[in-house]
Amino acid sequence: MIPSTAPPFAMTRWVAQTRQNYVSMTPYNVTDTAIHGFQGTHQPAIWMGESGQAIVAPGAGTVCSVFEERGMKFSKDSEVITPSYYKADLDAIEGGKILAEQSATSRVGHLRFTFSGTKQPYVLMEASRPSIIGSADVNNLTYPLGSIAVDPAAREITGSNAERQDFIIGPNPAPGWRGYFCARFDKPFAGFGTTQNGTMRAGERDRNGTELGGYVQFAEETGEVDVRIGVSFISVEQARRNLEKEIPDGTSLEKTARTTRTAWANKLDLIEVDGATSDELAVFYTAVFHSLQYPYESSEDGKYYSGYDNAVHEGESYDGYSIWDTFRAEWAWQILLAPERIPGMVQSMLQDYKEDEGWMAAYVEEYFWIVPSETNIMVGTHADSLVAEAVLKNITGFDLETAWAAVHEDATVPPQNDNTTVYADREEHVGYEVRAGLSSVYEQKGWVADDVHSESASRTLDYAYDDFAVAVLASLLNKTSDAAFFLNRSMMAPFTIYNNVTDFMEARNASGAWAGEDEGWTEGDKWAYSFDVVHAMDELIEARGGREQFVRSLDAHFDGGHNDHSNEPSHHIPYLYSMARAASKSQSRVREIATANYNNTPIGLSGNEDCGQMSAWYIFSALGFYPVNPVSGDYIVGTPFFDSVTIRLPGAPAPLRITSRGAPKKPYIKSLTVNGEKLSDPVITHEQIAHGGDIVFEMSGEPQPWASETLHEDLSGGLLHMQQPEAGASGSLRLLRRISAHCRDNPKSSALPVPRATVRGAWQLEPLISVRLLGFMLLEAPTDAGREGLAAEIVRCSNDRELQELGNAYYDHLLRCFFRSKNTDTLPESLYEEPVIDLIVQNVEIRALSATTPTDYLTAKRNALVRDGYRCMLSQKLDLEILQQNLFLDDGSEAVTTRCAHIIFCPYEGLDGSKRTAYATSAYAIFGRYGDIVYSQELDSQMVHRLENVLTLAPDLYDSFDQLNIWLEKTPNSPDHCYTVKAPKAYDFLVRSIKTSERRVQFTTPDPERLPLPDPRYLKVHAACAKAAHLSGAADCIRTLFGNMEDATVLASDGTSHDLLHYALLRR
């Protein structure tokens, strides 16, 4: 990032010009020895081009307008570089010295040139120049038109240019684009003229054309010249207004510098660091300085030019987002330290969305850069993440429905020619790239085809993350069905390109064939991207062999030299040790990366700053945590660098104090306390820090067991450390027998270290799911008797087949009585013949089963509404129908159409005859053994609608409850019927509508006898099944099968549709 002068988020940054800038070249380089002028630049980073710049060059004697001829040697020792002030001593070409000083506001540059021992002083304003476009090819030139005008009476030079070096790679022509300037001097002119292609035209007041400039001369005795240069994207008149508003006539350079210095101090002084060396302080505060520069302001007096419709609009606007980089951590940091900026930044994106007419309107949401319009450089639609994270973290000030429309179109509308256009990096003259491959393969199979589109493997993983962000936003806006759809797609897609033979992600062709490990990547390779499933990290860990194997894979990544911190896909990787419960390794790796890639020298960053993302990584890492999944609201703990850091977060009632005594020399964490609560998990939530508070790290010089169970033996409270089960069911059998024996002997034990599970191969049932399900059913059993009984059944299994059959029995007879879907009548044929579990069922009383499914739902809902006060029992939202009928006082609560949710549903729905009886027999036996529920006497037939088995819920919570995505756990040491609403981490956003403290709810009833509350036994079994379903992966299996049955029309030729076909043939 160039050492520019400007306040935070300034529209124009002023910098000494030591070279011509273009894609891959910035206007200042520390190795250069000559200054050719001072440039007001809009080039946000080295890999983007310039647009609408303004360049001022002092001189003495003969006017030199050509870049190569006007350079002046300068003394490096004389340079003073700060965010608010720059100074350098220049050697005038024809003798003498020029002291150049510079400051700036957002839209105005302020320069002062002091001439000593020189010939006639002059100042040149360059309006247009030869421009290198599109790439680093220095021969790829264009000649933008410019205009120049000199007004001696007003002491002004005004002008414009149409330079936009990236126009060739963007879908927007933006024909009206211009950068305008108005330069006003404090001294009268002794002479003036224009220049074109090196030719001077003395006395000429104005000219249009290419390679254009204008100059003014001053009397030889003039010692000092002050010039202020207003810049605009709208007009010369607006540039003049910007000048007069931000730096009025008579303002000294010192005052301008103080104003800009104060603007920086207002942010930098919010942070106090203790326990850092001078070099470490320089690195840290430089990082904060870098993090508050982009995106930059592009509106002026409440107006802005839009390149999308080539018009000027009312509103606040920003450009230069670099979203592919900054969504990872920079945005989260700005939400904390500059929350006042976020509404305008989001609104700016939504304005771009609305201004680009037609089908392409959604696609501005993909942008990597807007300078001044989309440039199609990177992959994915990570603006979805920015919007979702802002809403998740309670940022307001923009229209939520417009936000939803934009991200929804990102995720559902393919680009033009989606089956044919490659969309290669910087491909010229193509339409909006957005999610290239969305309709060609991704929607149908879950991956982007490498033989159709470039960077296909990276696209697949980025699209999956963006789908997760869309799901989060949908949930926050109570769009339940959309949330479920995008969540499912986000969880399935990454594993379609996971090659479990090589243990790497790998691009695939449209046919499904592997394309090769080195194909399809964006600024990374198979090593980095095989860790890039930040929204489903538990599933990735399991897919790659479990925690211990995952840690070994991380070791191979780092020890093999594969971690490239200069590219963003590697930024989160050191924190994955913590997510695999090997936190001490995260702590050592983070310190190693910080030391190797950040230092207090001119080349103190490894690679491109990328508009603040490199610095955001350092800032969060120095604080001790990092947002691995930005839209989760979680920060993963690494290691703090300093003794203490205090941040006065804007708008927070108290400062955020991070204390880690001894951290500079002690990188390892012994314990962590947040706001008085000691944490065992290496996770800090946004809610825990957004309002201030206290984070206390206890540090050590040696690796500690905290959050590092994977690395340390005998930490499980008496049970030996569990190794990851060997491949195949035999390993699972041994593991389950070991657990079951322990549970049978110690029925009250819990929290045993059993590995998590997932659906490894997308779209097909994982064979080990049924076996793993048993382990988690065992650990989560609602009663001691249920745990002992299941443990005994596991021990009695003599081979893999019996173990899997037992798992399938619990899967089909128990879990499916909770998991509701669009189709609930699909049951495996293998369970129709006779019970498959070894239980005594001969004496189970089977009541006469009704011929049809009970239909008394309305009565159940009516009674439940009366009992529950006409409100959702969890969110307290009022029932809309009751409110509309004026049967309830409108107290301002949000109203919804509530639904009646059954805790346990009919286990034999859709069956008849002998199949029905046989299936019910097994189901009743399992409910009795596992949950201590006599189903035939409590819930059979119409009794399923009894009040003890129903809850009044809002629609989004109804769907989540019926799909086992949320459950209720009895709150310890609390009154009866007091519960905490729980959800898996990946689904935590589903319960954000519950605003009570710690998401606790207290059930009450006006008449306990006639209107009884939900039976705690039913809720305990529901909770046990929900947790086991998610921990084992069974929930994903059910959801995928149901979803595929709704959507599939063609069976796969490779036989992977076997389970789908088997279920589909049984539908009635």
Is the pLDDT reported for residue 664 higher than 80?
A: yes
503 backbone dihedrals φ, ψ, rounded to 5°: 65, 30
User: pLDDT > 70: what percent of the chain?
Assistant: 81
Number of other CB atoms surrounding residue 1054 within 10 Å: 9
Q: pLDDT at position 595, please?
A: 96
Q: What is the mean pLDDT of residues 396-418?
A: 90
Contact 14, 5 (CB under 8 A): yes
Q: What is the mean pLDDT of residues 706-721?
A: 56
Q: What is the mean pLDDT of residues 542-556?
A: 95
Strand (E) or helix (H) holding 657: strand 656-659
The burial of 822, by beta-carbon neighbours within 10 Å (0-12 exposed, 13-18 middle, 19 or more buried), is given as: exposed
Is the pLDDT reported for residue 191 higher than 50?
A: yes
Joined together, the tokens standing for residue 768 give 């080990």
CA 146 to centroid of chain Cα atoms: 41
pLDDT in tens, 216-237: 999 999 999 999 999 999 999 9
Q: pLDDT at position 984, please?
A: 84
Please tell me the distance from the alpha carbon of residue 132 to that of residue 503, in angstroms, as a whole number. Answer: 43
Contact 388, 442 (CB under 8 A): no
pLDDT category of residue 972 using cuts at 50, 70 and 90: confident
pLDDT in tens, 1-17: 788 999 999 999 999 99
Domains of the chain: 13-268 (2.70.98.10), 272-292+575-712 (3.30.2080.10), 815-1047 (no CATH)
Q: What is the mean pLDDT of residues 157-166?
A: 86
What is the SS3 assignment for 846? coil
Is the pLDDT reported for residue 599 higher than 50?
A: yes
Prediction pTM value: 0.71
Q: pLDDT at position 155, please?
A: 98
pLDDT category of residue 464 using cuts at 50, 70 and 90: very high
Q: pLDDT at position 910, please?
A: 57
Q: pLDDT at position 40, please?
A: 96
In sign, the C-alpha dihedral spanning 803, 806, 812, 814 is negative
In the DSSP assignment, the letter for residue 274 is E
What is the SS3 assignment for 534? helix
Please tell me the distance from the alpha carbon of residue 714 to that of residue 700, in angstroms, as a whole number. Answer: 21
Exposure string for 875-908, b = 16+ CB within 10 A, e = fewer: bbbbbeebbeeeebeeeeeebbebbbbbbbbbbb
User: What is the DSSP pairing of strand 878-879 with strand 97-104?
Assistant: unpaired
Cα–Cα distances (Å) from 744 to 449, 753, 1017, 1020, in that order, read 50, 16, 21, 20
What integer best gives the mean pLDDT of the chain? 83
Q: What is the mean pLDDT of residues 416-444?
A: 73
976 backbone dihedrals φ, ψ, rounded to 5°: -60, 145
Contact 423, 436 (CB under 8 A): yes
Q: pLDDT at position 87, please?
A: 98
pLDDT in tens, 585-598: 999 999 999 999 99
The burial of 104, by beta-carbon neighbours within 10 Å (0-12 exposed, 13-18 middle, 19 or more buried), is given as: buried
Q: pLDDT at position 889, please?
A: 55
pLDDT in tens, 777-805: 887 888 888 888 888 788 778 776 777 77
In the DSSP assignment, the letter for residue 449 is B
Q: What is the mean pLDDT of residues 188-199?
A: 96
Is the pLDDT reported for residue 54 higher than 80?
A: yes
Answer left, alpha or beta for residue 818, where phi above 0 means left and psi between -120 and 50 means alpha. Answer: alpha
The mean-pLDDT minimum among 666-670, 798-802, 879-883, 893-897 falls in 798-802
Q: Amino acid identity, residue 938? A: E
In the DSSP assignment, the letter for residue 726 is P
User: What is the DSSP pairing of strand 693-700 with strand 656-659?
Assistant: parallel
Q: Which residues are within 8 A (CB) of 631 and not within 5 positions of it... i.e. 6 or more apart? A: 385, 388, 389, 392, 468, 469, 472, 535
Joined together, the tokens standing for residue 299 give 């509106």
Contact 35, 71 (CB under 8 A): yes
Is the pLDDT reported for residue 754 higher than 60?
A: no
pLDDT in tens, 256-285: 999 999 999 999 999 999 999 999 999 999
Please tell me the distance from the alpha carbon of residue 126 to that of residue 509, in angstroms, as a whole number. Answer: 51
pLDDT in tens, 62-119: 999 999 999 999 989 999 999 999 999 999 999 999 999 999 999 999 999 999 999 9
Please state the three-class secondary structure of 545-602 as a single string. CCHHHHHHHHHHHHHCCCCCCCCHHHCCHHHHHHHCCCHHHHHHHHHHHHHHHECCCC
User: What is the DSSP pairing of strand 224-232 with strand 80-81?
Assistant: unpaired
pLDDT category of residue 180 using cuts at 50, 70 and 90: very high
Is the pLDDT reported for residue 303 higher than 90?
A: yes
Answer left, alpha or beta for residue 192, where phi above 0 means left and psi between -120 and 50 means alpha. Answer: beta
DSSP assignments along 176-198, one per residue = T--EEEEEEESS--SEEEEEETT
Please tell me the distance from the alpha carbon of residue 104 to that of residue 107, in angstroms, as a whole number. Answer: 8
Q: Which residues are within 8 A (CB) of 890 and not within 5 positions of it... i.e. 6 or more apart? A: 878, 883
Task: Give alpha helix (H) positions in 565-695.
Answer: 576-579, 583-597, 613-623, 686-689
Please tell me the distance from the alpha carbon of residue 978 to that of residue 1044, in angstroms, as a whole number. Answer: 38
pLDDT category of residue 1036 using cuts at 50, 70 and 90: low
Q: pLDDT at position 495, please?
A: 94
Q: pLDDT at position 785, please?
A: 83
Q: What is the mean pLDDT of residues 396-421?
A: 88
Is the pLDDT reported for residue 565 higher than 80?
A: yes
In sign, the C-alpha dihedral spanning 696, 698, 703, 706 is negative
Task: Give alpha helix (H) positions in 767-849.
Answer: 769-779, 784-796, 800-813
Please tell me the distance from the alpha carbon of residue 242 to that of residue 298, in angstroms, as a whole number. Answer: 12
What angle (nearest 5°) sits at the alpha carbon of residue 608, between those of residues 607 and 610? 145
Indicate the angle between helix axes 769-779 and 729-745, nearest 10 degrees.
Answer: 10
Please tell me the distance from the alpha carbon of residue 535 to that of residue 494, in angstroms, as a whole number. Answer: 10
What is the SS3 assignment for 612? helix
User: What is the DSSP pairing of strand 504-505 with strand 498-499?
Assistant: antiparallel
Q: pLDDT at position 163, please?
A: 83
Q: Which residues are within 8 A (CB) of 866 and not within 5 positions of it... i.e. 6 or more apart? A: 1006, 1011
796 vs 969 pLDDT, higher one: 969
Q: pLDDT at position 403, please?
A: 95
pLDDT in tens, 822-860: 333 333 333 223 333 332 233 233 233 233 333 577 888
